[in-house]
Amino acid sequence: MKDFQQEIRDISGWLSKIGADPSGGMTRLLYTPEWIEAQHALKNAFEAAGLNTHFDAVGNLFGRLEGSKYPDQVILSGSHIDTVVNGGNLDGQFGIEAAFMAIKHLKDTYGPPLRSLEVIALAEEEGSRFPYVFWGSKNIVGLARREDVQHITDAKGVGFVNAMRDAGFDFPPPHQPLRSDIAAFVEIHIEQGKVLETEGKTIGVVTSIVGQRRYDVRLQGEANHAGTTPMSYRRDTVHAFSRICCESIAKARAEGDPLVLTFGKVEPKPNTVNVVPGFTHFTLDCRHTDQAALLRFTQEIEQDIQRICAEMGIEAEIDLWMDEAPIPMNEQLVACVSRLCETQRLNYRMMHSGAGHDSQIFAPRVPTVMMFVPSIAGISHNPAEKTAVADLNEGVKILAQTLYQLAYTEQGAEA
């Protein structure tokens, strides 16, 4: 198998300049000039490699290598082109680069596949500009709704619809049929954690993506003078939050892996030194690979919040705004990738993904599999995001072998 290390450096070199911050990091938000430039630069690169390209209505970019025998069976591979604010240059981007390099190599080495191969640069996954996630993949599978984005704006007050149309895209035509030709979706991604690095593994074969439940919790007590209000008279929402946080984290630690619990945002009001905080808003994020365990644990946390607040004379408003079930990958595709890893004697492990990915949108509807390469120190969504080029190279190799198996052999995943 070809060594891709120099090609990885070359492609990442020019693509990473688009949206690069002079002080370090990458910002390429949906429908911004940087996003537009990146998508069109990729389109040019795909065409130069002999792929047929097109954008769909919302801006997902496709580069296609037509199948010779089963052209209507498409093996789709890629990831998202958008980034978080001041993120790294691997999250999403590497999945596109890897799929492009793999398909180009297969084309140059073996010619046309039996089944069509497509590399995709998905329009959006992160939700970094607008309060909406997976816009790209949700449009492909029919989950995106016009009403969900019709009236949302970014931090500068720019409307989603206006930004989309200014970038040259629009909503899909009414009653446009969904794609029914995707036979498999294959995504490779950096791990964004340090399991692979810690265990000295080269490849992670993802078996499932965790379920997530996210909450906004608002505690209403009473703001009062910090000097004249005795401790026993206080309805202090920060005190209530601290009890909730400590008890919940202790319970999560006792539960053990793979459950994780995070209190990521805390906003007390009036947030000043000499006033008892009468209001506190906080967020809660809980994830698990097992749906029943996730529901049981979070329901216990909800009950604990209500109990603690009742003891302290505080009202609690609990808003569950994200409730995503765990998503298993396709067992046949997982077995296929595992066999290839064994054949190539790769140092791999089976694992779940603790982060959300476009694969979780495709998987309930299309046979889907994910692969990870290690992240140095587990750092992601950060300018310091990095993976050794040698590990990226092994990722492109196993992706190319997987795409060969799926697109160039009669048996596909069954071989």
Q: Is 381 annotated as a binding residue?
A: yes
Chain-centroid distance of CA 206 in Å reads 13
User: What token pair was written down for 227?
Assistant: 């000097």
Q: Is 175 annotated as a binding residue?
A: no
Q: Is 126 annotated as a binding residue?
A: yes
Q: Is 274 annotated as a binding residue?
A: yes
- Are 89 and 67 in contact, with CB atoms under 8 Å apart? no
Beta strand 70-80 with 279-288 is: unpaired
Phi, psi of 398 (to 5 degrees): -70, -30
Q: Is 40 annotated as a binding residue?
A: no
How many angstroms separate the CA atoms of 387 and 83, rounded? 17
In this structure, is the dihedral angle defined by the CA atoms of residues 142, 143, 149 and 150, taken in order, positive or negative? Answer: positive
Q: Is 287 annotated as a binding residue?
A: yes
Residue positions in the annotated binding site? 80, 91, 126, 189, 214, 274, 287, 381
Q: Which residues are annotated as a binding site for allantoate?
A: 214, 274, 287
Query: Binding-site residues for Zn(2+), please?
Result: 80, 91, 126, 189, 381
